[in-house]
Chain A
Amino acid sequence: MVLPAGSDAVTREIIEGKLLATVDEMGVVMGRTSMSPVIYEVLDFACGILTPEGELVAQMNGITLFTGTFGTQVQALIARFGEDVAPGDVLLTNDPFAGGTHACDLAIVRPVFLGGRLAAWAINVAHYLDVGGSVPGSVAPDATSVFEEGLRLPGVKIVRNDTLSAELVSIIRENVRLPDIAMGDLNAQLATVRIAERRLSEIVDKYGHDSLRDCFTHLLDTSEAEARAVIAALPDGTYRAQDVIDGDGVSPDQFEVCVAVTIAGDAIEADFTGCPPACAGPINCARGALNSAVKTIVKALVAPHAPSNDGWFRPLTVTAPDGTLFTAMKPAPTGWYYEGSVHASELVWKALAGLKPGRFSAGPYSSLCATYISGTDQAGRPFIHVEPQHGGWGATDEGDGASALMALTNGDTYNYSVEVIEAKFPLRVTRYGFNTEGGAGAGRHRGGYGLVRDYEVLAPGTVVHGSFGRSQTRPWGLDGGAPGSVNALIHVPAGGKPEHHSRIGHLATHPGDTVRIVTGGGGGWGPPEDRAPEDVAQDVRAGLLTEAEAREIYGHAGEDAA
């Protein structure tokens, strides 16, 4: 059978399906073959396919941090290399100041030449467990310059004529702490862009270059049109929001940040003018990460479930002067960039929440609360345990917030199995449960609960570092809902008193000590006095609230529940 004439819609639909299947396949291979736990458990990577001009058309997204970073990165590489790319080349970049995020995120980019023509770009960005720098894991919470954050390779040819560059491999191997793991991840990344080329070549063989190109154009144009339609339906105006960032890792100072979001017709602008200059510590983000942070919320607004591509973001302008906390310049440190960029996302979220309540919730626990526990195990082998923490999300106009869910910056990110941790690392988990002590924001609908995770340290010389945001400023409530609760990294020395930390570069522990990770509950929605008595009664029954707490917050413990 031959395709019916004039069936462009059919061919496009088929090619679109194949593009999505391709990025999915890249993701499956990456997740399963990667060596580093950051990638396989945390899924801190993403894969995509872009047009020859560097516009994203299909993305496999494990996390939101890479929403829209691909376009900027590939366009920076196009500018750098110009015509100097050939079939069989693969480029590598990890420069935060050229569209990237932080030095740990290595982008592997393959120009896909088919029949001598550049048909597309395939990209895979993955977080490496270590790229050198001042601390294991390369992201010191108290770094004061990018030079402390590991090896930067701002656009190099890692593969030429399908041959891996021995020089570059040697540079990487000699500059990272865990070279075997790094090489395993590099292999996995290279395999994924190779798969992309194979699948694209099957599409072009069957449907031709023009059909592929037509599909790209159509995807971008129709996404743009849909996004504009949603934006046009919102009332024109400028909507402002403010928030506070708690500490930068160098000092506990608070930073007030703000946004003005303007809806004008079918366009949207997010203006961060008025935000403070880059701070001393590494929670700064550069412009690429800022754009990505704003795009995440625009995507949530216009089409949360549709596959991502750059068309959705054509109506968006992001305005911010150079050199702010959200637009840091070299040599500002950016190792913990997502601790800053999440606030850019949340500002836009907060500004828009009232405009389209059906797409938003109240404030979440926000911070990834990434925790690094490192040392030497009983057999004398070095270990690093890296773990993002899950926490409470805000309530919505329809129901209570979600408990124990991954932060906005990540996404399809798993927690770490206690049984697997104990089999691998000299650590014992003694509690993993809801943070009922901290509680969640009260409201007609309450926020979701955060978590408490207790690690008992078993090996001498174990060191902890991490960067927990929202340690003082609680997640915001909406429509009269109460704010949620805060995050904390607590050290309980054996037989001693608990010490509270938030962003800490070096915490020495001893066997028998407990490292307690606490994440906050989300904000509430609606006045607490409007909460249904049966909902209060259920929380008491489930042990989320004591009767005394219920009386204090809601004035009763649900005795009158039907």
Chain B
Amino acid sequence: MIRLATDVGGTFTDLVGYDERTGEVYTAKGLTTTDDQSRGVMDTIETAQTRDGLRPDEVTFLAHGGTTVINAITERTGVKTALVTTRGFRDVLEIGRGNRPDLYNLRTRSPEVFVPRELRFEIDERMDAAGTVLRAPDMDGIAPVVEACRAAGVEAIGVVFLHSYINPAHERQVADALAAAMPDVTVCASHEISRQWREFERSSTVALNAYVQPILRRYFGRLEAALQDRQIACPYYAMQSNGGISTFDQAMDSPLTLVESGPSGGVAGAVRIGDHLGEENVLYLDVGGTTAKCSLITEGRAVLNTTYRLEHTRTWPGYPLQLPVVDIVEIGAGGGSIASLDARGGLRVGPRSAGSDPGPASYGRGGTEPTVTDALLTIGLFDPAAFAGGSFPLDVELARAAIGRLAGPLGVGVEQAALAIIEIAHANMINALKLVTVQRGHDPRDAAFVVSGGAGPALATRLGRDLGVRAIVIPPHPGIFSAWGMLAAEPRVDFRKTWFADLSTDALSRLSDSAEEMRTEALTHFGRGTEAPVSCTFAVEARYAGQEHGVMAPWTPGEDIATFTDAFHTAHERAYTFRLPETGVEITGLHLEARLAGTTITMADMDPAGRGLDDSRTGQRDVWLGDADGWVPCPVHARARLPLNTALPGPMIVEEDTTTTLVLPGQTAEVERAGSLVIREAG
């Protein structure tokens, strides 16, 4: 009856509750308790209970998203971990791919390993590429490994053998033996996490999974106990990186699937909004304090990244993970991004951020460098008195003074400089938004543009106009949209398997058998029996013979070869601009996305009472729209009281507690029946 979601961020813990009977929404925000995050979660539930009368015994669904896993990795606070490999290959994890993207830095290094060389052990065993056993594991080799791990105080062990993606028998055998010998140590074999080839990437995946597994188990254990104490006895779900949820038990088996838990909550929310509005394609942007993240939803489904790399930058290889992670492009441009002049006199915005402390100059907490938030305040877009629901007044003069320091060297006025800062942040975001659309063969003009985050809605209408999107959508609760998205997420599991054959009718028929096995695996995963409403979407990774990288093409088991071949050529041309109809095609992988239907959030109609144009109007403010238009008077409206299903013309400012939206001249804005603010170009 009540769905609850909690998003544990670095600084704040957000709680969103939704009463499916009344449409009532509970929200609470508290500080994240870093020593034991479950306390912070329980604090927000306590707040919702005492302040809004949330009844824990009525909670029927709880989703949790957070930074536990990613923080343990980025802060290097996981457990002491060992890795067991095929003999001759213990250095694979440290060698990595040996690439040196920091081309001209003659002092560059490879990323540090999570398992030091003295804790990487070898077992004599070998499979070939067909999965045929060349040498059975030498089980006498286990005892010395156990002894060394005990002596070193190892808490988790990963096992990765060559070609286990095709035949996991050896990995299973050795992992079982290690687990039996060390019942207090977490043991995890690579094939349990990934069934894909490339030994370094699979090693990296299993090593990091092992590194965080005890941490997550302990945390979820504490959280479960605390929730049960509080009489919240519904199923508990964890937000995964694939845009879906899994049970806590499933998450504890493969904790690394939670690595991008927070951001993928927003993606799940955008999927739900798209579905509600009948938009198949959604371009989603979340603008936070330090970064902006964008991702694409096509045909109602989040696009997954095929080569996810943690901590990867232009000059740093990062850590590849063979996991289903929504494809998110993140750039250093957010509300707190600092504007500065570089050595060549160019204006830069980000990636440095003022964060929340000292924060933008206008926060008056000692920050002196101008930020995007200061620029938005300077051009009049934000109301200094009403920022963050009036709890946190901003100082316009401090913002103007900070921007003034850039305006001088640029030879322009303060307003012009402010607009220039916004212009650069805007250009950076456009490049990232084009990366997930145009550069991957998708047209933003076919998409609805869903924008969340504190500074997102303030920039959304310009971005949307430049991209030519179908509509700009500011969803309900844009300031805590990740948590809202978790309410909307469905149980989901993705399986990816390296599956190698020349394309032929026979291969497709064998592939159909593999697909059936995968479907059965998915049904087992959800544990709701064979009649459960599980929707399975398959995709086949294929390439032209001779190519290395494949493209994903849609495929249905039983489909004939002509239909699939055509789908592959089309997918290739979309991604890379050409097709080679004369060249042979190879299948390289099979992917299943399975969703358990029927548990997503309803989007009830809003109550029209108390809404109307006169009710919503709270005042008027001048906004600087550039030299041509100058300061333009804009009526200000409270979003919560705007009339439903009524298109209102811009210019107009729409305010709510966590954010402000500027509707530009030539656009119209309309609150649709479930509360999303939909902005379109007029005419």
Q: Give A557 Cβ to nearest chain B Cβ, in Å.
A: 15
How close is B331's CB to chain A, nearest CB, in angstroms? 10
A402-B546 contact, Cβ under 8 Å, with A13-B346, A29-B576, A419-B197? no
Given contacts A61-B103, A433-B90, contact A7 B412 (CB under 8 A): yes
Interface membership of B434, Cβ < 8 A: yes
A-contact 0/1 string along B391-421, CB 8 Å cutoff? 0000000000000000000111001110110
Distance between Cα atoms of A21 and B331 in the complex (Å): 13
Across-interface contacts of B105 in A (CB, < 8 A): 300, 304-305
Q: Across the interface, do B89 and A541 meet the contact criterion of CB distance under 8 Å?
A: no
Cβ contact of A428, chosen from B108, B128, B424, B434, cutoff 8 A: B128
Instruction: State whether the Cβ of B428 lies closer than 8 Å to any Cβ in chain A.
Output: yes
Stretch at the interface among B17-25, B93-101, B216-224, B557-565: B93-101
Within 8 Å of chain A (Cβ to Cβ): is B356? no
* Beta-carbon contact of B88 and A433 below 8 Å: yes
> Within 8 Å CB of B107, what residues of A?
359-361, 396, 398
Closest CB of chain A to B185's CB: distance in Å? 21
Q: Are B549's CB and A17's CB within 8 A? A: no
From A305, A418, A428, A451, residue with most partner B Cβ within 10 Å: A418
Are A191 and B578 touching (Cβ within 8 A)? yes
A434 within 8 A of B: yes
Assess the B103–A63 pair: CB atoms within 8 A.
yes
Q: Could you say which interface size class chain A belongs to?
A: 35 or more
Complex Cα gap A198–B368 (Å): 41
For A4, A13, A187, A405, the residue with the greatest tally of chain B CB atoms inside 10 Å of its CB is: A4
B81-96: CB near A (< 8 Å → 1, else 0) gives 0000000111110111
By the criterion CB–CB under 8 Å, are B95 and A432 in contact? yes
Q: Is the CB of A4 within 8 A of B315?
A: no
Partner of A29 from the list B110, B163, B347, B577 (CB cut-off 8 Å) is B577
Given contacts A10-B424, A64-B103, A419-B165, contact A40 B548 (CB under 8 A): yes
The answer to whether A432 and B577 have CB atoms under 8 Å apart is no
Chain A residues lying within 8 Å of B95, measured Cβ to Cβ, are 390, 403-404, 415, 432-434, 451
Please measure, in the bound complex, the distance between the C-alpha atom of A128 and the C-alpha atom of B462, giving whole angstroms. 45
Distance in angstroms from A328 CB to nearest chain B CB is 25
> CB distance B116 to A21 under 8 Å?
no
Count A/B pairs, Cβ under 8 Å.
Answer: 235
The reply to whether A420 and B439 contact each other, CB–CB distance below 8 Å, is no
B143 in contact (CB, < 8 A) = no
Interface residues of A in 23-79 (CB under 8 A from B): 25, 28-29, 31-37, 40-41, 43, 61, 63-64
Partner of A7 from the list B88, B198, B410, B545 (CB cut-off 8 Å) is B410
Rounded to whole Å, the gap between the CB of A465 and the closest CB of chain B is 22
Bound-complex Cα distance A222 to B344 (A): 6
Whole-angstrom CA separation of A191 from B428 in the bound complex: 25
- Chain B minimum-CB-distance residue to A458: B128
Binary flags per residue of A446-486, CB closer than 8 Å to B gives 1, else 0: 00000100100000000000000000000000000000000
B310 within 8 A of A: no
Q: Quick check: is B533 within 8 A (CB to CB) of the other chain?
A: no
- Does B98 lie within 8 Å of A406, measured CB to CB? yes
Cβ of B580 and Cβ of A17 under 8 Å apart? no
Cβ of B129 within 8 Å of any chain A Cβ, yes or no, is yes
- Give CA–CA (A181, B583) in the complex, Å: 10
Query: Does A507 lie at the interface of the complex (its beta carbon under 8 Å from any beta carbon of B)?
Result: no
A414 within 8 A of B: yes
Residues A184 and B103 in contact, CB atoms below 8 Å apart: no
> Across the interface, do A17 and B428 meet the contact criterion of CB distance under 8 Å?
yes
- Check if A157 is an interface residue, CB within 8 A of chain B: no
In the complex the two chains form, is A299's CB within 8 Å of B577's CB? no
Candidates A3, A16, A41, A432; contact of B548 at CB < 8 Å: A41
With contact pairs A35-B546, A413-B99 given, residues A418 and B199 touching in the complex (Cβ less than 8 Å):
yes
Decide: A187 and B580 in contact? CB cutoff 8 A: yes
Q: How far is the CA of A174 from the CA of B666 in the complex (A)?
A: 60
The answer to whether the Cβ of A412 comes within 8 Å of any Cβ in the partner chain is: yes
Given A4-B416, A296-B104, are A18 and B98 also a contact pair (CB < 8 Å)? no
A411 touches B100 (CB 8 A): yes
CA distance A349 to B105 in the complex (A): 12
Kindly state whether residue B106 has any CB partner on chain A within 8 Å: yes
Question: What band does the interface of chain B fall in when counting residues whose beta carbon is under 8 Å from A?
Answer: 35 or more
Q: Chain A: which residue is nearest B428 at the CB level?
A: A17
Binds A, one of B170-178, B261-269, B624-632: B624-632
Which of chain A's residues have a CB closer than 8 A to the CB of B462?
A: 1
Say yes or no for A5: interface residue by CB 8 A criterion.
Answer: yes
Q: Which of A184, A418, A419 has the most CB of B within 10 A?
A: A419
Known: A222-B344, A360-B106. A7 touches B91 (CB 8 A): no
**What residues of chain A lie closer than 8 Å to B99, measured between beta carbons?**
43, 406, 411-414
Please tell me if the beta carbons of A403 and B128 are within 8 angstroms of each other in the complex. no
Q: A13-B348, A543-B117, A543-B118 are in contact. Are A432 and B416 (CB under 8 A)?
A: no
- Bound CA–CA A451/B95 (angstroms): 9
B333–chain A nearest beta-carbon distance, Å: 11
B627 A417 Cβ-Cβ under 8 A: no
B340-379 Cβ-contact flags toward A at 8 Å (1 or 0): 0001111110000000000000000000000000000000
Interface residues of B in 556-576 (CB under 8 A from A): 572, 575-576
Question: Complex Cα distance A422/B547, Å?
Answer: 16
Return the CB mask of A374-404 against B: 1 if under 8 Å, else 0.
0000000000000000100000101100111
Across the interface, do A17 and B423 meet the contact criterion of CB distance under 8 Å?
A: no
A5-B412 in contact (CB<8A): yes
Given contacts A35-B544, A35-B547, contact A423 B626 (CB under 8 A): no
Report B-chain residues with C-beta under 8 Å of the C-beta of A304. Answer: 102, 104-106
- Please give, as numbers and ranges, the residues of chain B lying within 8 Å of A430 by CB-CB distance: 88
Whether A510 sits at the interface, judged by CB under 8 Å, is no
Contact residues of B between 413 and 462, Cβ < 8 Å to A: 415-417, 419-420, 423-424, 427-428, 431, 434-435, 439, 462
Q: In the bound complex, what is the Cα–Cα distance between A418 and B162 (angstroms)? A: 8
- Asked whether A405 lies within 8 Å of B100 as measured between CB atoms, the reply is yes
Select one of A6, A29, A188 contacting B411, CB under 8 A.
Answer: A6
Mark contacts of A93-132 with chain B using CB atoms, 8 A cut-off: 1 yes-contact digit, 0 otherwise. 0000000000000000000000000000000000000000
Q: Would you give 9 A-B contacts (Cβ < 8 Å), ordered by A?
A: A21-B431, A181-B546, A184-B546, A194-B577, A222-B343, A406-B100, A434-B95, A454-B88, A542-B117
Q: Measuring CB to CB, which residues of chain B are less than 8 angstroms from any residue of chain A?
A: 88-92, 94-110, 116-118, 128-129, 162-163, 165, 197-200, 315, 343-348, 410-412, 415-417, 419-420, 423-424, 427-428, 431, 434-435, 439, 462, 500, 544-549, 572, 575-578, 580, 583, 625-629, 664
Given contacts A413-B98, A413-B99, list 16 more A-B pairs with CB under 8 A. A18-B431, A32-B576, A33-B572, A40-B548, A223-B344, A300-B104, A305-B102, A399-B109, A403-B110, A417-B198, A419-B165, A422-B162, A431-B88, A434-B91, A451-B95, A543-B117
